[in-house]
Every structure is written in C-alpha cells, then in structure tokens.
Amino acid sequence: MKNKKGIILSVLLLLLLVCGIDFYKNKTDSFSNFDHITPRQILMQNKQNYFVYFYKKDCPYCKKIEKDIIKFSSNKKNKVYFVDVSQHKKDIIQYDWVDFHTNNDIEIGKLTKSGKVKYYKEFSKNYFKNNKIKNKFDKTVEVKIITADKEYKKQNQNAKSGYVYASIQTPEIDYSSLQIGRQPVIAGVPTLLEIRNKEFYNYYFDSPEIKAFLKNSVN
C-alpha cells in the first residue's frame, strides 16, 4: 500500500514539474539570446545592413513565425536586432488605424432584407482575391470583407450599418522619413524593418508577409 502511494505521489510530482517547465517556457522570452535595442536606436547601429524585428511575448501572430525568425536570425549572414514593444511603449507612435480605415476602406455592397450580400456592379465576393492590388509602397494589399456593425463603425467612421466594406489590412507607413533617435510609427506586431547602408529600405508587416519574405530570403 505504501509503495502504491509512493508511486502516485511520484507521478503527481513529475506532472507538476512538467507543467511548471511549460509555464516557465511560455513566460520567458524566446529571443532573449539575441541583441535587443530600443525603438529610437533603429538607425544607430554599427552595422551597414541589418533588420529590426518588433514583437511582443504574448502576441499570437508573433508565435506563428517564431521559429522562422529564430532560424533567420541564427544565420550569421543576417543581423537582426529585436524590440519588445511591451517594454518601450513610450518610444513608439501607434499607427492611426481609425484614420486609415476611414479614408481607405471601400464600400462594396449592402445587405438585402433576406440578409444576403448584394455587391455593387464593379465588385464581387472574390474581386479582391482575383485582383491583387498594390499600394503606393508597392505592397500587395490584404483585404478583409466586413459587414458594418458597431465595432467596425468605430474603426471606419464613414461606415453605415448594413453595408459591406473591403477593409484594408495593409498599413501605409512612410519610413523613409524616419530620423535617427526619433520614435518610429508601428502599426502592430510582428513588424520587420530592413535597413541597408544605415538607411530604411523596406518593411514587412504581420506574420504572412514576414514569413513569405523569410522564406524567399532562404531560397
């Protein structure tokens, strides 16, 4: 009987240990072994060419590309500096998504009395899937089709209830005007900035675009 209790106790202790290790892993920073900088130091590094990766430890979108970023950063050919935005909130200017959606989202249809979407002549359900649109920074625009409700109307102040909108998910940020020591504008995380010859060269926003860039860089 004593042996049985001892075995049960040992199993319970082992489970607690495993759970504790998993909890600790989730709380620690996966990028702690890499060089970290502040947002104002983006253009102040000694290297000529490098990347700056903005992330948050609890960001689910960052988790999607965590292994890809680690693999890319572990390659000696790629110098990547990391910025944990949760540690530097005062040094970052938040992108004005409300202004962006209000001025850029497109009304493409409305709901009928039966609850079906009636698209305007020039649009269709798959219009934005079949037609890849580039913005002024030559970025392929990601679009989300949304029927306006209370939450969406907070983002797009021109939106009307019952109407359908193509909501632009790709931000437009002119990083070319970024100056040394100034606060950068960040639309969200993950964000990857590419610096060449100590000047801004390109940016990649959100996990799909960053993942595609990293994949092409390896190939």
Q: Which of 23-27, 94-98, 123-127, 209-213 has the lowest mean pLDDT?
A: 23-27
In a domain, 178, yes or no: yes
In a domain, 46, yes or no: yes
Mean pLDDT of 121-138: 91
Residues 107 and 160 in one domain: yes
The predicted structure's pLDDT at residue 125 = 83
Give the number of domains in the chain: 2
Tokens of 25: 């892993």
Using alpha carbons, select from 88, 95, 79, 66 the residue that is nearest to residue 155: 95
Residues 159 and 105 in one domain: yes
Residue 74's domain is classified under what CATH number? 3.40.30.10
Domain that holds residue 131: 97-168
Is 15's pLDDT higher than 80? no
The predicted structure's pLDDT at residue 129 = 87
The predicted structure's pLDDT at residue 6 = 57
Round to whole Å and give the CA distance between 34 and 192: 15
Q: Are strands 185-186 and 93-94 parallel, antiparallel or unpaired?
A: parallel
Contact assessment for residue 62 and residue 207, using Cβ atoms and an 8 Å cutoff: yes
Residues 103 and 48 in one domain: no
Contact assessment for residue 187 and residue 205, using Cβ atoms and an 8 Å cutoff: yes
| Burial class (CB within 10 angstroms; exposed 0-12, middle 13-18, buried 19+) of 132 | exposed
Q: Which of 12-26, 54-68, 99-113, 180-194 has the lowest mean pLDDT?
A: 12-26
- Taking only the tens place, the pLDDT of each residue in 57-109 is 999 999 999 999 999 999 999 999 999 999 999 999 999 999 999 999 999 99
Please report which confidence band the pLDDT of residue 3 belongs to, taking 50, 70 and 90 as the band edges.
low
The predicted structure's pLDDT at residue 218 = 73
Residues 44 and 63 in one domain: yes
Please report which confidence band the pLDDT of residue 17 belongs to, taking 50, 70 and 90 as the band edges.
low
Residues 51 and 152 in one domain: no
Round to whole Å and give the CA distance between 72 and 105: 34
Is 159's pLDDT higher than 80? yes
Using alpha carbons, select from 96, 120, 94, 111 the residue that is nearest to residue 185: 94
Give the predicted TM-score (pTM) of the model: 0.85
- Taking only the tens place, the pLDDT of each residue in 130-146 is 998 999 999 999 999 99
Mean pLDDT of 186-200: 97
In a domain, 15, yes or no: no
Residues 84 and 177 in one domain: yes
